[in-house]
Amino acid sequence: MIRFDNVTKIYPRAAGASALRNVSFRIAKGEFVFLIGPSGAGKSTILKLLYLDERPTSGEVRVSGYSSLETSQREVAKLRRRLGIVFQDFQLLEDRTAEANVAFALQVIGTPAAAIPGKVARALTQVGLASKATALPRELSGGEQQRVAFARALVNDPFVLIADEPTGNLDERATRGIFQLLREINASGTAVVMATHDLELVRSTDYRCIELNHGDVVFDSVEAPKLEVEAD
Amino acid sequence: MLPFRTALAAFRRAPLLSALSITTIAFSLFAFGLFGLVALNIRDALQHIEERVEIRAFVADGTTVEKLTVASEEIARFPEVSKVDVVTQAEALDRARKELGEFKDVFESEFLPASLDVHLKPGFRDPTTVSKVAERLRGYDFVDDVRFGEEWITQLYRLRNIAGVAGLTLGLAFACVAIIIIGATIRMAVLARAREIAIMRLVGATDGFIRLPFLIEGALKGLLGGGLALLMTYLAMRVLEQYLHFETAFFDRRVALLGVLFGALMGLMGSAVSVGRHLRRI
C-alpha cells in the first residue's frame, strides 16, 4: 500500500544536508506504524512525502498506486482525498464551528450538499464530539480540538491516517484519549502512520515502530520485533 | 455556486478588511479616473480647435460663379475633404467686417477676393495632409493663393502629440500603481486566509477550486471599487464645475462601464497573481 524505495530527500536550503538518506520500507494495508526519533531526524519529511507535499530528491515513494515520480499536482489532490492528515497544532478554522470545520473538508472536494450533514454527524460521533458540533474551536479543550481535526481527517473514509505529533500539545489524559481514538480508527481498518516523541506511548503497544536518526532508519521493529529505543 | 458563496462569505467574515480593500481600490482607480477626466477634456478641447482647421483658396478676380461651383464640387470629392464653401467677394467683406469690427470702415466693396473654404474630415487635419490638399488646390488656374496657417497647424499637432504621449505615459503609470495597490490589497486578503488555503490543499481541493473564490472576491472588490471610483470622479467633476465654473465633459456610459469593468479586471488579475504566488509557496 505504501512503499519507500531508496528515498533520499535534500532540501535546497539545507546546504546539502540530507533530511532522509536511502530510506526503504513498506507499510501494509491496515497497519499501525509509529515514526520516532529526535527532532530533525526526518519523521515529518516522511509524512510530507507520504501526502506528496514534498517529492524525493532520489528514489520513489508509492502510495496506493500514486508514484512520486509520475503524479501530477492535480492528481495529488485526488490522492489527498483518500488520506486523512492531522497535525500537532490542529489546523482548525477558528471562525467556524466544529461541524463547519468537518464539513469544509467535504465541501472543497465537491461532495453533494445533501450528503454532507450525515457524514459530518457520523465523523463527530466517531470521535466522541457529537454534543459539541456547534462549538467554536476556542470553546473546546486542546484534546477536543484535536478530535475535531480527527473528525475532519476521517470524514472522507481515508485508507491511511497520517498523524504528525497529534498528542504533542496535549496533557496526559487528553493524550490517552486521542491514542485510544487512534486505536479504534486502526481497528476499523484504516492504516495509521504516526510521528511522535512520546516513547512511553510507543512502548505501551505492540505496534510497529520505525526509528529515524539524522535521516537514516536506525531501527524497524518489523525486522527486530522487540522494541528497544532510547529516550531523546 | 460554492465558490460564489465562499467569496461572499469572505466579505461577511472580514468586513473591515473587505471595506479597506474596496476603498483602496476605489482611491487608486479614482486617481486614474481623475487623470482620465483631465485627458478627456484636453482631448475634447484640442478636437474643438482642430475642427477649425481649414484651407482657404483665394480666387482670381473675374472667375465666374459657375466655374467656382464646378470646382467646389470636384474638390468636395477629394477623400480628405468634408465640405467646401464658396465665399464670394461680398460674403468675404461681410465676414471681415464681423470678425474685425474695428476695421469695418476700412473695407471697401471688392477689396477682398472671393475664396473656396475647404474643410477637412477628422483624421486628415495633420500638417502633411493639409499641405498636400493645399498643393492640389494651387493646381487650379483660377487660384491666386492658398492659406492654411501652416505654422499654427504644426504647433497644434505638436501639442496634440505631446498631450497624447504624456497621457499614455501617465495613464500607464497610474494603471501600474492601481494594479500594484490592488495586488497588495488582495494579497492581504489571501494572507488572512492562509490557514484556510493550507487546509483546503490538505484535504484534497484542487488549486483551481482554491483559486476560484479568490478570483470572484477580487473581481467583486474591483467592481465595487470601480463603481465607487466612478462616483467619486463624478462628484469631483461636479465640485470643479460648481466652484471653478468649468464646463467639463464626463465619460460617456460606455467608457464609464469600461472603467468599472477595468476595476473588476484589476481585482481579478491582482487576485490571480496573489493566490498563484501563495499556492506556489505553500
Phi, then psi, of B30 in degrees rounded to 5: -65, -45
Is residue A133 predicted with pLDDT exceeding 50?
yes
CA–CA gap between residue B54 and residue A25 (Å, rounded): 90
Residue A224 has a pLDDT of 59
Contacts of A104 in chain B (CB under 8 A): 199-200, 203
Is residue A47 predicted with pLDDT exceeding 90?
yes
Strongest mean pLDDT among A95-99, B242-246, B273-277: A95-99
Residue A215 has a pLDDT of 92
- Give the mean pLDDT of B51-76: 87
Q: Quick check: A77 and B199 CB within 8 A?
A: no
How many beta-carbon pairs below 8 A join chains A and B?
Answer: 49
CA–CA gap between residue A194 and residue A211 (Å, rounded): 12
Q: Which chain A residue is nearest to residue B202, measuring alpha carbons?
A: A80
Residue A86 has a pLDDT of 93
Q: Quick check: B13 and A73 CB within 8 A?
A: no
Q: Quick check: B204 and A74 CB within 8 A?
A: no
Instruction: Look at A61 and B267; give whichever has higher pLDDT.
Output: A61
Closest Cβ–Cβ partner in B198, B202, B209 for A80: B202
Q: Quick check: A81 and B206 CB within 8 A?
A: no
Q: Quick check: B207 and A73 CB within 8 A?
A: yes
Q: Residue B233, class by beta-carbon neighbours within 10 Å (0-12 exposed, 13-18 middle, 19+ buried)?
A: buried
* B81-87 sheet: strands from edge to edge: B81-87, B115-120, B54-59, B143-147
- pTM to 2 decimal places: 0.69
CA–CA gap between residue A4 and residue A56 (Å, rounded): 10
SS3 A93: coil
Question: Are A76 and B201 a contacting pair, CB within 8 Å?
Answer: no
Q: Which chain B residue is nearest to residue A50, measuring alpha carbons?
A: B202
Q: Percent of chain B scored above 90 by pLDDT?
A: 18
Cell numbers at residue B204, please?
Answer: 484534497
Residue B37 has a pLDDT of 84
Q: Residue A73, class by beta-carbon neighbours within 10 Å (0-12 exposed, 13-18 middle, 19+ buried)?
A: exposed
Residue B103 has a pLDDT of 60
| Residue A226: pLDDT band with limits 50, 70, 90 | very low
pLDDT digits (tens, 9 = 90+) for B187-228: 887 888 888 888 888 888 888 888 898 899 889 999 999 999
Is residue B23 predicted with pLDDT exceeding 80?
yes
User: At A49, which amino acid appears?
Assistant: L
CA–CA gap between residue B123 and residue A125 (Å, rounded): 77
- ∠ CA(A62), CA(A65), CA(A67), 5° rounding? 40
CA–CA gap between residue B111 and residue B9 (Å, rounded): 82
By C-alpha distance, which of B207, B206, B53, B214 is closest to B134? B53
CA–CA gap between residue B259 and residue B221 (Å, rounded): 14
Supply the ipTM of this predicted assembly.
0.82
By C-alpha distance, which of A21, A19, A146, A158 is closest to A87? A146
Per DSSP, which regions of A47-148 are E strands?
58-63, 66-67, 83-87
Question: Are A8 and A57 a contacting pair, CB within 8 Å?
Answer: yes
CA–CA gap between residue A114 and residue B46 (Å, rounded): 64
CA–CA gap between residue A85 and residue B198 (Å, rounded): 12
Q: Which chain B residue is nearest to residue A106, measuring alpha carbons?
A: B203
Residue B117 has a pLDDT of 92
Question: Closest approach of chain B CAs to the CA of A43, in angstroms?
Answer: 18
Residue A16 has a pLDDT of 66
Q: How many angstroms separate the most distant Cα atoms in chain B? A: 96
Strongest mean pLDDT among A43-52, B45-54, B118-127: A43-52
Q: How many angstroms separate the most distant Cα atoms in chain A? A: 51
Q: Report the residue of B199, B210, B279 to disrupt the A interface, i.e. the one with the largest count of A CBs within 10 Å.
A: B199
CA distance readout (Å), B193 to A48, A115, B272: 22, 26, 15
Question: Closest approach of chain B CAs to the CA of A161, in angstroms?
Answer: 12
Q: Could you tell me which residues come within 8 angstroms of residue B47 by beta carbon, excluding any fewer than 6 positions away?
A: B122
Q: Quick check: B203 and A73 CB within 8 A?
A: no
The helix-helix angle for B253-281 and B15-50 (nearest 10°) equals: 140
Contacts of B4 in chain A (CB under 8 A): none
Q: Quick check: B206 and A74 CB within 8 A?
A: yes
Q: Residue B234, class by beta-carbon neighbours within 10 Å (0-12 exposed, 13-18 middle, 19+ buried)?
A: middle
- Give the mean pLDDT of A128-137: 95
Is residue A160 predicted with pLDDT exceeding 50?
yes
Residue B107 has a pLDDT of 60
Is residue A118 predicted with pLDDT exceeding 80?
yes
Closest Cβ–Cβ partner in A78, A79, A107 for B2: A107
Q: Quick check: B202 and A85 CB within 8 A?
A: yes
Question: Are A125 and B228 a contacting pair, CB within 8 Å?
Answer: no
Q: Quick check: A108 and B13 CB within 8 A?
A: no
Question: Are B269 and B179 a contacting pair, CB within 8 Å?
Answer: yes
Residue B153 has a pLDDT of 79
Contacts of B195 in chain A (CB under 8 A): 91, 93
Is residue B239 predicted with pLDDT exceeding 80?
yes
List residues of chain A with CB under 8 Å from any CB of chain B: 51, 73-74, 77-83, 85, 91, 93, 95, 104-105, 107-110, 152, 156
pLDDT digits (tens, 9 = 90+) for A13-35: 766 678 999 999 999 999 999 99
Mean residue pLDDT across chain B? 85
Is residue A175 predicted with pLDDT exceeding 60?
yes
Cell numbers at residue B255, please?
Answer: 467608457
Cell numbers at residue B132, please?
Answer: 498636400
| Residue B102: pLDDT band with limits 50, 70, 90 | low
Residue A230 has a pLDDT of 47
Is residue A225 predicted with pLDDT exceeding 60?
no
Q: Quick check: B203 and A78 CB within 8 A?
A: no
Residue A231 has a pLDDT of 42
Q: Residue B246, class by beta-carbon neighbours within 10 Å (0-12 exposed, 13-18 middle, 19+ buried)?
A: exposed
DSSP structural state of residue B114: P
Is residue B135 predicted with pLDDT exceeding 70?
yes
Mean residue pLDDT across chain A? 90
- Give the mean pLDDT of B223-249: 88
Question: Closest approach of chain B CAs to the CA of A224, in angstroms?
Answer: 34
Closest Cβ–Cβ partner in A78, A93, A95 for B204: A78
| Residue A194: pLDDT band with limits 50, 70, 90 | very high
Is residue B142 predicted with pLDDT exceeding 70?
yes
CA distance readout (Å), B67 to B63, B74, B114, B260: 7, 11, 12, 56
